[in-house]
Amino acid sequence: MKSGQRRAWVDIDLGALQRNALAIAARAGVPLLPMVKADAYGLGAIAVARALEPTNPWGYGVATVEEGAELREAGITRRIIVFTPLAAEDFRDAGTLSLTPALSHADRIQAWANGGRAWHLAIDTGMSRAGVRWDRVDALHDTLLAFPPEGAFTHFHSADRANGSLEVQESRFRAAVATLPHRPTVLHTENGAAIEHRGRSPWDIARPGIFLYGVGCGGGLVPEPVVHLRGRVVDIRSLSDGETVSYLASYRAVGERRIATLSIGYADGLRRALSNRGSAIVHGVIAPIAGIVTMDMTMIDVTDVPSCNVGDVATLIGRAGGLALDVGAVAHTADISPYELLTGLRGRLHREYGAAE
């Protein structure tokens, strides 16, 4: 189906994606390990990885063996690190696919690395989610001596905030690395926010995620927008003063209003939290969402857009007509994180990929 006939879709600018990767790589001064987990934050892991290949990344980061398998089946041959801890029963498939697990328990390290396979040591410096605590790494000394990791890493919990926590975590990481029998070949700590804030990396690779997809943290390096969510106008009606829109009648017309119905709803990932709060761009005008976002349809007030007609396109995230509703701003309006907004874009939305450069 051509985009001119679609009810709702996401335009994904692969050229902007590439430029974001090159920009943050230049700032970091080290190779990238782009995070393409969660289907590349909802944008399609295969298309994203293929678009990033010309930027020569060190490898890719995923969360599950299944995500790694998808990339391998698509012909991606670079290193793929699985960052979520694997169960022992996942080792066989991970090995067959030449995936690199993040490990931190002696028994799993021995089970995996006994055949000489590469792995990375996960070190917990304050996230308290996974990995060996920074102050207990020496308990793994004999295991690490027998099965040295290719890499070691930690994860910052608040890299987008200038609250000193990054420095604390990095100090812990350095102390932990100093206790290892041998320095791993690859050390990594930084997500995109850390690189934005401090520039050149002191480590071997950097792990940008949402920055690649167009969301910065105000650290001075501004990414280009990549995601543009569109919905088509499928109905228009006029309301008289006092008439209501959508469930619970939470929108009540003040004076005569013109309401357009879009063929997109929360089943597509347009958050219900945007009800009576979010907006859309139609013909270069910001049109507010009117009433509660429903499962398959959303209503907007187009009283100030007299040229709006059935078949027109409304933009709910991204740029159109010289205006922008960027991911971060829309997420803020919905009181959710931009990560949650992007990964919530659902499979029934068609993806239109702009050509990579």
Instruction: Out of 213, 247, 251, 353, pick the active-site residue.
Output: 247
Among residues 37, 213, 251, 353, the one annotated as catalytic is 37
CA angle 221–19–4, rounded 5-degree value:
115
Examine the residue annotation and report whether 2 is marked as an active-site residue of this protein. Answer: no
* DSSP code per residue over 195-235: HHHH-S-SSS-B---GGGGT---SSS-PPPP-EEEEEEEEE
For residue 37, indicate whether it is catalytic: yes
**Alpha-carbon distance 199 to 208, whole Å?**
13
Burial pattern 268-294, b for ≥16 Cβ within 10 A else e, equals: bbbbebbbeebbbbbbebebbbbbbbb
Q: Which of 60, 87, 84, 88 is nearest to 74 (CA)?
A: 60
What Å distances lie between residue 221 and 14, 228, 246, CA to CA?
19, 20, 41
Residues carrying an active site annotation: 37, 247
